Structure 1
Amino acid sequence: MITNTELHSQGNVFPGKLNQFDQVVDTLTFNTDNGVILRLQVFRDSVIRFKYGTGGKLEEDFSYAIDEDGNRGYNKLEVIEKENHYEITTSKIICKISKADLRSRIFDLEGKIVCEDELGFHYEESYQYGGEIVKMSKKAQPGESYYGLGDKPADNNMRAKRFELWGTDQYAFGKQTDPLYKNVPFYIGLQNKISYGIFFDNTFRSFFDFAQERHHVTSFWAQGGVMDYYFIYGPDVNSVVSGYTELTGKPELPPLWALGYHQCKWSYYPESNVREVAAKFRELQIPCDAIYLDIDYMDGFRCFTWDEEKFPNPTQMISDLREDGFKTIAIIDPGIKVDPEYSVYQEAMEKDYFCKRADGPYMKGKVWPGQCYFPDYTNPKVRTWWADLFKGLIADNGLAGVWNDMNEPAVMEVPNKTFPDDVRHDFDGHPCSHRKAHNIYGMQMARATYEGVKKFIYPKRPFVITRSAYSGTQRYTSSWFGDNVATWEHLSIANIQAQRMSLSGMSFAGSDIGGFAEQPTGELFARWIALGVFHPFCRVHSSGDHGDQEPWTFDENVTNITRKFVELRYKLLPYLYTTFWQYVEEGTPMLKSLVVYDQEDAQTHYRNDEFMYGDKFLVCPVLEPNAKGRRMYIPRGEWYNFWTRETIIGGKEAWVDADIDEIPLFVKAGSIIPRYPVMQYVGEKVIEFLTLDVYCAIGKDKSVVYEDASDGYDYKKGRFSLRNLSFNGTENEIIISQYKDGKYTTEYETLRLNFIGLPFEIDYVEVDNLKISMEDLNYDLNTQTMYVNKNFVELHIVGK
């Protein structure tokens, strides 16, 4: 492994003195006397790209991560030459580039340092591979904290830790396992109440050292490629994540059913077993929207085939499941069985679509089917071909989604678990070795799968899930955290990974609830389902080797607890869907670590367990057996205990009771939370009215509710319903205002307002300046509920 003792040693080359400067609109080019070039691009007022070249040249721009449709442009750009540096000023930040060595310093407009180079850019020749090892070191400010890097299982705050990015199949990984499946070279720095982000767009094997080797230095480097990174200014963490997601791309809205509960196992077969599992969900009335088929549905693990003995009529089975409210999702791996009688293999051979070794033969490796060849998904022709292969599964058989696994790529029975370095890739017309393509292989497979599913499921929305990913994969797919273990430690790891993925622009993610390897106790499963229903992707999955893991395979109490929490997820679907819409619109994380919620409170900087579910819910899992509750940190502000409806003022730790059938759960005072009736699957019931839970407070707050047809693309034509709700409460008066946007007409006409913590007895109510009798509002004093027309503008409630 490359060490990073970054001294002025013989091997390292640093930029020389500036001898030429040029500016063309938003692009500034700095040339030095020893052939180092810095090209600085102002993408937005808060986003600056730093790209370095050596030997007097810059490599051609190409990135799989950057979204070509992202917002560009700035309000201000001023460049001034000073005696020792150039000063670049936007409406958000000031960047100074040293004439002596190209080192950069970035300040906010008040002159506070945000981020500054230590040694800055340097490189060394790679005599093993050719090319260069590119490095960047920055000063770690006193007390600076670091977050991000995707699905790393370590604690949220990465200070004093080092990580590697090299997508790896890590069965039964642990808290210190590194690297893992995903490659997200994006981190967030927070110091002096100012936050920024760094996205290092380099697909080679990369390393990040957050002041571990030297306590005052944070550095990142890669074993090839170029030093090409984006600086993203906050100053709040939420804006940094939003800026990064804008840069690397936002997802489409998923179909609403994809946010329901999913059931998976390795494997449900034959057909009778699939039908039994589906029937049991309906019999026990545990809501479920999706059932998965793992590799055993295939004929000898050949992708895009069916085992005709296990599944004699898959189209009929899928149709029957659909009639009962289940979507069927099937797995597809990248390994294509070497079999001259197999049509997918034949076609790929004829078109020369498989990856090859450097000296000519095809890349051959062992996976589930035995000997396999592997498509080169970095070739656009291969992606188009792969997408078209989904016609059978999607258009003909009726699958609703596809699950991509083993796409790191994973290869069995070889020490490095993947392709050799010399395998060649097209890289969209930029031919390269696997050293460069490895970290994006899974992303490009997921992209090709997404394009196929989208093509053949249209006019519905596609659903794809992937194990391996690189920055920008969120444009195509959801993901899960890989092969975890049924242990209490892994319950904690799942909680951390979900927060980190949201912080890394990939909110639509979740763990294998209950653990993939080994068998959970009923208590562990109950605690895990209580957490899992608050992750954007909610799926139970197990290896099946150690017993079944359906909700009814434990005792009756666990079954009832599972039903309770899954029902809660379905009740809160309009809230979760609204949170997803905010993620799509603004790039904001769906789950927020406490540091995102309140970065100015230093107590939040090292918290791992508590997180915000959207903007309004505070969640904290119980992570130990035999617990009747736990201590947790309540952020500043006023909060309602969801279960008891008692209020607490935050900014402190508190003991919270939570027996096996509860999870510590709080709602921010002033929130208005939308709620649906319990359904066994999305679309089962006509929504007669939308419930709005109003958590009363003294003060003001804002909430939103987003709805559309729950599938299809009419929402992109303005056919959505967006309720902007304002709450304003005093000791004897509440005003709720509504501003509606969008052309979608909801199926219900009425809103059911459910007041929680109403501080007074109601004297009278005005709706749009008209006094309405309590009888006409169907007011129930016991439940403190009333019904109003969905299109009201202002609701005025006055106390006696």
Structure 2
Amino acid sequence: MSELVEVERSTQLIRLKNSAGPTMAELHFSPIRLDFMDANKSVLVSLNSRGMLEFEHFRKRKPTEGEQVEEGVPVDEEEEPGMWEESFGTHRDSKPHGPSAISLDASFPGAKEVYGIPEHADTFALKDTSGTDPYRLYNLDVFEYEIGNPMALYGSVPFMIALGNRGTAVGVFWHNPSETWVDISKDSSNVVTQIVSMMAGTEKIPKVETQWISEAGIIDMFVLLGPGPKDVMRQYAALTGPTFLPPLWSLGLHNSRWNYNNEDDVRQVDAGFDAVDFPYDVMWLDIEHTDDKKYFTWDPVKFANPKAMIDNVASKGRKMVTIVDPHIKRDSSYFLHNDATSKGLYVKQSDGVTDYEGWCWPGSSGYLDFLKPETRKYWEERFLLENYQGSTLDLFTWNDMNEPSVFSGPEVTMHKDAIHHGGFEHRELHNANGFYFHWNTYLAHLRRAPNLRPFVLTRSFFSGSQRYAAVWTGDNMADWSHLDYTTAMLLSHSVTGISFIGADIGGFFNSPDAEMLVRWYQAAAFQPFARVHAHIETRRREPWLFDTDSLHRMRQAVRIRYSVLPLWYTLFYEATLSGVPPMRPIWMEFPAEEAAWTEQDSFMLGDVLLVRPVTTQGAKSVNVYFPGKEGTDLWYNFFGFHPVHHLGFQSLAVDMNTIPIYQRSGTILPKRERIRRSASLTLRDPFTLVVAVNATGQAHGSLYMDDGETFDYQKGKYLYLEFTFDQGKLSSKLKSGGDFQTDAWLERVVVLGLEREPSHVQLQEENAVESHELRWSHDPSSGAVVIRKPGVQMGVAWSISIN
């Protein structure tokens, strides 16, 4: 644990040094400014260099005639329009404390680009907002959101990464859940900026300046000094928590729509996937499964025997998910509403006494107050099997509409002057409302089954949501522009810790044609959370409803996803350790390459695969950026293993069958190529390792294995293997864990990039006295060497020598 140690003090400043590194800080007194510097004393981050530090204190309104004044409380004599209340159409927002906004500017000398602060349907590299609207963070239920707009969407993470100076990175986290605006100014003219140095002088460098403004709360900014992008991710994970390790099945394909009609519909769709050999793992039910929009109930006619329905799906290794939203139907025949009323569990109106009432799917609704301990305890109990009748341990939860969505409220959300437990106004915590909801749903699943990893999907989120829930990008559209912006949106989430992120395959609104749906499946195969979902008024889009060629292409995309589930699962495990997301911008692996800083069409899956989705209609070719150094880095085609020798941007021909996917030289890709109908059925299947040798004849990789669904891995019941290839020898050894038994074995090894065809191949197992020869073949067109059936158990140490 490092700390800042004072090394100098004067009447002008205090100079501090990082006890565990070369960075330092200077706090200047007049005007107040806080600079963070690297070892060369170049400023990395400067706070209040533009003098925008502001904070407004709570006030007491001037009493009206005859009103009693509390003794000792200062009265504010000012009376300005909007100071104590504002009106928006028919909505009134009272401000009992008066204006309470705060502001601070953060500048990044040397930075060219900044990223993060989701959620916005905008470019990955954040835009200069000078002269236009700043980026807004205010969680809202947005209908048919616009592309390329800084408007607020469903979630907020006030965290930003700045990149520049030969790939160095820093981050700032504005810890405030109230409505927030972020203004960005980029200095594209390379104007002269003062650099703190032992020697006097200036240097021309770029700079990005930002201002953070929140409606309420306190000034609480964290500065993360890197120096690299992965260092910033690690530091942010240490601050807000790493992503949870998802159950293996949750990394498979999810199938949903609003709504599957009844139990027969669910049964037929589930059987339909099997009939066309199309893998999937989770069946979802939207709001129509309930009895008149009362959560924790089932429609007595359409879903009369839910346990049998769930058990049928689970018999194939699959799971089910039902929606549970935060709005509670105000109905005297509904147990949950009666309990919430009698126990005082609802959020209150501005008077702090009357239950807050809004309008949502059930009609008149109340909203549970999760700041109240009694509410949290009550909510946990609702998910117990004896309370949630018809549920089983194979049923998990989807938290939607938790911004919260209030159809009758201002901007379709809760009034800011509503009162939560402890006297907090809703304005003070609005952006964390969804977090509190899905966090408590996660805890409820833990109480239901303490050793079973929960799965919760949330639409609304805040910093820290990555510890408890997957997230999706809300109500997107079946439109090529929405498919095109999906990568940028998911990357923006990923670099702010929201790693388990996805978008509705095919778009929520409207109906995609076959070409669009195929391209969406192909893109989603390499995105963290993969769920098909659609509006109730759209056409059904089960894959077998399309032509034979399109069905084949969709199935092939999903089968590819399932084949690389070992990589996905390993990357998510490593994310729990490092904070580095599985889905990454290219610059996270190649931070010094400026051409990658604005790249949002392609992305990396770990450090292994480069993926370029095809997102335009009728595309015959796409531009792909291949990073690296000429003569050092190679990229191998995922399908045919042929290498790409020239780096930078290249135009590649594409057809409808695949998208450009390339494996990076120097990596080892673990795969399972026996495709089952669900992920849990693959646990005993053998592995293939694809070894892509780099220019020095080396490659590295890893593989994580456990039971796929429990917390036993926290007790050491897992295998974390390290693979290395060097001087013609592929070796496997245990990196950590060990107390996990598996029948999985090594079926195939593919080696790419060998200079010559081998003469013989030998396997040496741990503790075996003799080695034995292995069969192999050589593909002269690609140079790939395929070693067949080494047959060694994955849980033991071994090596394969290629001579």
User: Distance between the aligned counterparts of 2:116 and 2:743, measured in 1?
Assistant: 41
Residue 397 of structure 1 is matched in structure 2 by 391
User: Distance between the aligned counterparts of 2:693 and 2:56, measured in 1?
Assistant: 64
Within-5 A mapping of 1:750-761: 750=746, 752-761=748-757
1:554 aligns with 2:550: no
Q: Output the amino acid matched with 1:361.
A: T
1:85 aligns with 2:13: yes
Within-5 A mapping of 1:106-121: 106-117=36-47, 118-120=49-51
2:412 is paired with a residue whose SS is coil
Residue 187 of structure 1 is matched in structure 2 by 160
Distance 1:202 1:312, change over 3 A: same
Residue 381 of structure 1 is matched in structure 2 by 374
1:506 is paired with a residue whose SS is coil
User: Distance between the aligned counterparts of 1:651 and 1:381, measured in 2?
Assistant: 59
Distance 1:407 1:95, change over 3 A: same
Residue 666 of structure 2 is matched in structure 1 by 670
1:647 aligns with 2:643: yes
User: Distance between the aligned counterparts of 1:416 and 1:131, measured in 2?
Assistant: 20
User: Distance between the aligned counterparts of 1:715 and 1:382, measured in 2?
Assistant: 31
1:425 aligns with 2:425: no
Residue 363 of structure 2 is matched in structure 1 by 370
Residue 150 of structure 1 is matched in structure 2 by 118
Residue 210 of structure 1 is matched in structure 2 by 184
Moved more, 646-655 or 175-184: 646-655
Residue 403 of structure 2 is matched in structure 1 by 408
Counterpart of 2:786 (choices 784, 792, 795) is 784
Task: For residue 87 of structure 1, report the CA deviation from its aligned partner.
Answer: 0.9
2:301 is paired with a residue whose SS is coil
8 Å Cα contact 1:400/1:457 also seen in 2: no
1:435 is paired with a residue whose SS is helix
User: Distance between the aligned counterparts of 2:591 and 2:172, measured in 1?
Assistant: 18
Query: TM-score w.r.t. structure 2 length?
Result: 0.86
**Deviation digits for residues 707-736 of structure 1, max 9, x if unmatched?**
01111111001111111112225xxx3454
1:718 aligns with 2:716: yes
Q: Output the amino acid matched with 2:232.
A: V
Residue 493 of structure 1 is matched in structure 2 by 485
Query: TM-score w.r.t. structure 1 length?
Result: 0.86
Task: For residue 793 of structure 1, report the CA deviation from its aligned partner.
Answer: 4.5
Query: Runs of 5+ in structure 1 lacking a partner?
Result: 1-72
Task: For residue 207 of structure 1, report the CA deviation from its aligned partner.
Answer: 0.8
8 Å Cα contact 2:255/2:283 also seen in 1: yes
Count of aligned pairs between the two proteins: 720
Residue 214 of structure 2 is matched in structure 1 by 222
Task: For residue 440 of structure 1, report the CA deviation from its aligned partner.
Answer: 0.8
**Deviation digits for residues 85-107 of structure 1, max 9, x if unmatched?**
11111133100001223311110
User: Distance between the aligned counterparts of 2:523 and 2:400, measured in 1?
Assistant: 24
1:77 is paired with a residue whose SS is strand
Residue 199 of structure 1 is matched in structure 2 by 173
Task: For residue 740 of structure 1, report the CA deviation from its aligned partner.
Answer: 4.2
User: Distance between the aligned counterparts of 1:125 and 1:380, measured in 2?
Assistant: 30
1:285 aligns with 2:277: yes
User: Distance between the aligned counterparts of 1:469 and 1:322, measured in 2?
Assistant: 29
1:258 aligns with 2:250: yes
1:784 is paired with a residue whose SS is strand
User: Distance between the aligned counterparts of 2:4 and 2:371, measured in 1?
Assistant: 38
Residue 105 of structure 1 is matched in structure 2 by 35
2:273 is paired with a residue whose SS is helix
Moved more, 266-275 or 411-420: 411-420
Task: For residue 749 of structure 1, report the CA deviation from its aligned partner.
Answer: 4.1
Residue 331 of structure 1 is matched in structure 2 by 323
Residue 200 of structure 2 is matched in structure 1 by none
User: Distance between the aligned counterparts of 1:205 and 1:479, measured in 2?
Assistant: 20
Distance 1:686 1:498, change over 3 A: closer
8 Å Cα contact 1:727/1:737 also seen in 2: no
**Deviation digits for residues 7-45 of structure 1, max 9, x if unmatched?**
xxxxxxxxxxxxxxxxxxxxxxxxxxxxxxxxxxxxxxx
**Deviation digits for residues 608-630 of structure 1, max 9, x if unmatched?**
11100112000011111111231
% same residue: 29
User: Distance between the aligned counterparts of 1:773 and 1:423, measured in 2?
Assistant: 73
**Deviation digits for residues 231-266 of structure 1, max 9, x if unmatched?**
001111121122112211123311110111000000
2:170 is paired with a residue whose SS is strand
Moved more, 312-321 or 450-459: 450-459
User: Distance between the aligned counterparts of 1:442 and 1:690, measured in 2?
Assistant: 40
Residue 346 of structure 2 is matched in structure 1 by 354
Within-5 A mapping of 1:665-744: 665-676=661-672, 677-685=674-682, 687-699=684-696, 700-729=698-727, 733-736=728-731, 738-742=733-737, 743-744=739-740
Task: For residue 686 of structure 1, report the CA deviation from its aligned partner.
Answer: 5.9
Distance 1:756 1:345, change over 3 A: same
Q: Output the amino acid matched with 2:714.
A: K
User: Distance between the aligned counterparts of 2:591 and 2:388, measured in 1?
Assistant: 45
User: Distance between the aligned counterparts of 1:189 and 1:209, measured in 2?
Assistant: 14
Distance 1:440 1:179, change over 3 A: same
**Deviation digits for residues 575-634 of structure 1, max 9, x if unmatched?**
100000011111111111122121111111111111001120000111111112311211
1:725 is paired with a residue whose SS is strand
1:183 is paired with a residue whose SS is coil
Task: For residue 792 of structure 1, report the CA deviation from its aligned partner.
Answer: 6.0
**Deviation digits for residues 250-305 of structure 1, max 9, x if unmatched?**
23311110111000000012111111110100111100110000000000001111
1:635 aligns with 2:631: no
8 Å Cα contact 2:296/2:388 also seen in 1: no
Residue 343 of structure 1 is matched in structure 2 by 335
User: Distance between the aligned counterparts of 1:549 and 1:372, measured in 2?
Assistant: 32
Counterpart of 1:270 (choices 258, 262, 268) is 262
8 Å Cα contact 1:383/1:445 also seen in 2: no
8 Å Cα contact 2:451/2:712 also seen in 1: no
User: Distance between the aligned counterparts of 2:486 and 2:800, measured in 1?
Assistant: 44
1:122 aligns with 2:50: no
Residue 170 of structure 1 is matched in structure 2 by 142
Task: For residue 515 of structure 1, report the CA deviation from its aligned partner.
Answer: 0.1
2:411 is paired with a residue whose SS is coil
Distance 1:227 1:651, change over 3 A: farther
Task: For residue 668 of structure 1, report the CA deviation from its aligned partner.
Answer: 0.6
Moved more, 242-251 or 476-485: 242-251
Query: Runs of 5+ in structure 2 lacking a partner?
Result: 58-82, 85-94, 189-206, 780-784
User: Distance between the aligned counterparts of 2:270 and 2:400, measured in 1?
Assistant: 23
**Deviation digits for residues 462-495 of structure 1, max 9, x if unmatched?**
1000000010011111111000000010001211
**Deviation digits for residues 139-168 of structure 1, max 9, x if unmatched?**
353652100112321111114032011001
2:417 is paired with a residue whose SS is coil
Q: Output the amino acid matched with 1:163.
A: Y
Distance 1:226 1:96, change over 3 A: same
User: Distance between the aligned counterparts of 2:441 and 2:274, measured in 1?
Assistant: 31
Q: Output the amino acid matched with 1:725.
A: F
2:320 is paired with a residue whose SS is strand
Residue 75 of structure 2 is matched in structure 1 by none
User: Distance between the aligned counterparts of 1:211 and 1:647, measured in 2?
Assistant: 41
Task: For residue 739 of structure 1, report the CA deviation from its aligned partner.
Answer: 4.0
8 Å Cα contact 1:592/1:611 also seen in 2: yes
Q: Output the amino acid matched with 1:196.
A: V
8 Å Cα contact 1:481/1:511 also seen in 2: yes
User: Distance between the aligned counterparts of 1:771 and 1:487, measured in 2?
Assistant: 62
2:640 is paired with a residue whose SS is coil
Q: Output the amino acid matched with 2:398.
A: W
Residue 51 of structure 1 is matched in structure 2 by none
**Deviation digits for residues 677-707 of structure 1, max 9, x if unmatched?**
2111023256342211122333233211000
Task: For residue 661 of structure 1, report the CA deviation from its aligned partner.
Answer: 1.3
Counterpart of 2:655 (choices 645, 656, 659) is 659
User: Distance between the aligned counterparts of 2:574 and 2:312, measured in 1?
Assistant: 35
